[in-house]
Amino acid sequence: MSQFSDTLFIGGSGRSGTTIAGKLLSRHQEVILAKPIEIKFLTSGNGLLDLYLNPRISRSGKVRVGPNANLKRFIKSADEKWWLRKGKKSGVTGLSTGIERAEWDALIANLQAEIDENRFQACQNFFRGYLDIQKSAVTSHLWVDTTPPNLMRANEIAQLLPGARFLHMIRDGRDVASSVVKEPWGPSKHFEALDWWKERMLLILNATRDMESSVHHLWMEDLVENDREASLEKLLKFLNLGPDSKMFAYFRETINPSSAHTGRWRQEVKRASEFDSKYQKILEGLIKEGLKLPTKQT
């Protein structure tokens, strides 16, 4: 068994069904959902992947000077960005909801002690330690994180965490665009949001091109409407999970077109015909890059 075969990283373009998939799988007795459900510290800027890769120039273009500059930025980002965050609706989330401060500090101390001797092993040990703490109180064998950028950096995660598996949640780009424009962090116009979706899809297709056996691509429309039972069956087979009555009940009651807001773009987008034409051209390009379409295209 590979060292990280007990991990599943769900990801996608953003607003693509990652949370829906995570909550569905978490109803299975063999699955534990990360707490918080988006840990952030692996794929975010200054995160563990950046610490492992140790770039001299950050993705924002800043030169990193001094010994272990990336380690300092990782620790600072954990304290200032990931440890405590505001919840989307109310309350707080962040790493503090899933690990005690003393446990986190112990992991950081080990990381600092090991990183000069073997950066790869130190970063790998850090994540394994975090994972074991999250799983210590449960018997579930599969741990699941739903941070959307997971799939954009899937090849890098696979290098650091051998044996990890990935679920790429894909959603109709027109509905993604309609959802994204309502968020403070994305494009504010529907046509621009389609381009945003395309660029993220290209990143994911490039990152997963040589990872066929460890990546499962799933259209949300297939899961919620087009091919429900077969889609769920294929997902469980990919994860080597058997049937689970609690998960099946949640699936029947909760996972449906209404909850997924399928087709929302039709009521929300002005110049819908032009918008749809642009989407179809984008799809043609993505198909050439390896994207497979859902069971039923609308």
Per-residue pLDDT of the chain (298 residues; tens, 9 = 90+): 479 999 999 999 999 999 999 999 999 999 999 999 999 999 999 999 999 999 877 666 676 667 789 999 999 999 999 999 988 777 899 999 999 999 999 999 999 999 999 999 999 999 999 999 999 988 889 999 999 999 999 999 999 999 999 999 999 999 999 999 999 999 999 999 999 999 999 999 999 999 999 999 999 999 999 999 999 999 999 999 999 999 999 999 999 888 888 999 999 999 999 999 999 999 999 999 999 999 887 7
E-strand stretches of the chain = 7-12, 31-33, 85-86, 92-93, 142-145, 165-170, 215-219
- In this prediction the pTM is 0.95
Based on the fold, state whether residues 166 and 280 are members of the same structural domain. Answer: yes
Based on the fold, state whether residues 163 and 204 are members of the same structural domain. Answer: yes
Q: Which CATH number characterizes residue 232's domain? A: 3.40.50.300
Looking only at the bridges linking them, the beta strands covering 31-33 and 142-145 are parallel
18 to 11, 67, 182, 218: CA distances (angstroms) = 6, 37, 17, 10
What is the rounded distance in angstroms from the CA atom of residue 155 to the CA atom of residue 153?
6
What is the rounded distance in angstroms from the CA atom of residue 124 to the CA atom of residue 89?
33
Domain boundary among 92, 119, 138: 138
The CA-based angle 253-256-260, given to 5 degrees, is 125
268 to 28, 192, 194, 216, 222: CA distances (angstroms) = 35, 15, 14, 31, 22
pLDDT at 19: 96
Per-residue tokens: 24: 């569905």
pLDDT at 184: 92
Based on the fold, state whether residues 130 and 195 are members of the same structural domain. Answer: no
Domain boundary among 87, 112, 138: 138
pLDDT at 65: 65
pLDDT at 277: 98
Number of structural domains the chain divides into? 2
What is the rounded distance in angstroms from the CA atom of residue 261 to the CA atom of residue 20?
12
Based on the fold, state whether residues 297 and 182 are members of the same structural domain. Answer: yes
The CA-based angle 91-95-101, given to 5 degrees, is 110
pLDDT at 110: 98
pLDDT at 31: 97
214 to 122, 151, 156, 164, 270: CA distances (angstroms) = 24, 11, 13, 7, 40
Domain boundary among 92, 107, 138: 138
The residue among 178, 159, 200 whose CA lies nearest residue 282 is 200
Per-residue tokens: 212: 């066929």
Whole domain around residue 131: which residue ranges?
36-138
pLDDT at 1: 44
How deeply is 170 buried, as exposed, middle or buried, from its count of CB atoms within 10 A (0-12, 13-18, 19+)? buried
What is the rounded distance in angstroms from the CA atom of residue 109 to the CA atom of residue 163?
26
Based on the fold, state whether residues 191 and 212 are members of the same structural domain. Answer: yes
Based on the fold, state whether residues 171 and 235 are members of the same structural domain. Answer: yes
